[in-house]
Chains A and B, each alone.
Chain A
Amino acid sequence: KAGVTQTPRYLIKTRGQQVTLSCSPISGHRSVSWYQQTPGQGLQFLFEYFSETQRNKGNFPGRFSGRQFSNSRSEMNVSTLELGDSALYLCASSLAFGDRRRLGYEQYFGPGTRLTVT
């Protein structure tokens, strides 16, 4: 099976612009999560989608949003970019969501999108 794919891999934007990142999960995986990775804050959870619905949300401002399509592909959007949004954005997919018996399912990560805001 192909792994999680993310596009683009690298992106340079200017403050105030907006950006859309894309993620295609592993075939058959219906849960998609997004994480932000920075040297200072480490890995922080942004949000998780399952069946086209946002199920969990981390502690990020409303400028960060996302969506999931019927084929499980997901996009995240960041509006009004700030310098502090420069980070590696990681997408992860998993088999299941919403079932306490499946808490053990691991997440598989894509290579990430490196966003630089100037």
Chain B
Amino acid sequence: AQSVAQPEDQVNVAEGNPLTVKCTYSVSGNPYLFWYVQYPNRGLQFLLKYITGDNLVKGSYGFEAEFNKSQTSFHLKKPSALVSDSALYFCAVRARNYGGSQGNLIFGKGTKLSVKP
């Protein structure tokens, strides 16, 4: 079965410090991985995705993610955190239906990022 794990419920970072939000996955075949962010009382906003190619993927708002096939990880990173980055972050993997067609997103439980001034 395909799954996504976010081992940390919450990550606390001081403003200006680098941040990492962890994600590991389990899929059959090549993974299609996504990061989304959710601000209070809002829907999810797409940050970035890994499909193929370079292991370091750059996305919106200065975020990037590193794909590591051997460790089955897709950690989200940012070199310098902002207070406005405080939000709920979700890692997701694309499920595959029978025959390999596009399926739904399977989400991790989410990690609450808190950036303090």
Contact = CB atoms under 8 A, between A and B. Distances in A.
Question: What are the 3 A-B residue pairs with the smallest beta carbon separation, nearest first?
Answer: A104-B51, A109-B43, A43-B107
Contacts, number: 70
Contacts of B109: 42
Given A43-B90, A104-B49, A106-B34, A56 B44 contact: no
Interface stretch (A12-20, A60-68, A92-100): A92-100
B102 A112 contact: no
B101 A98 contact: yes
B96 A107 contact: no
A56 B42 contact: no
A108 B110 CA distance: 17
A56 B104 contact: yes
Contact of B43 (A31, A55, A90): A90
B21 to A, nearest CB: 15
B7 to A, nearest CB: 14
Interface in A41-68: 42-43, 45, 48, 55-56, 58
Contacts of B43: 4, 6, 90, 109-112
Interface string B80-117: 00000000001000101101111111111110000000
A105 to B, nearest CB: 7
B111 to A, nearest CB: 11
Nearest to A33: B104
A103 B94 contact: yes
Interface in B25-80: 32, 34, 36, 41-46, 49, 51-52
Contact of A111 (B42, B101, B103): B42
Contacts of B36: 109
Nearest to A111: B43
17 contacts: A4-B43, A6-B43, A33-B104, A42-B108, A42-B110, A58-B104, A92-B105, A98-B101, A99-B101, A103-B51, A103-B96, A104-B32, A104-B51, A109-B43, A109-B46, A110-B43, A111-B41
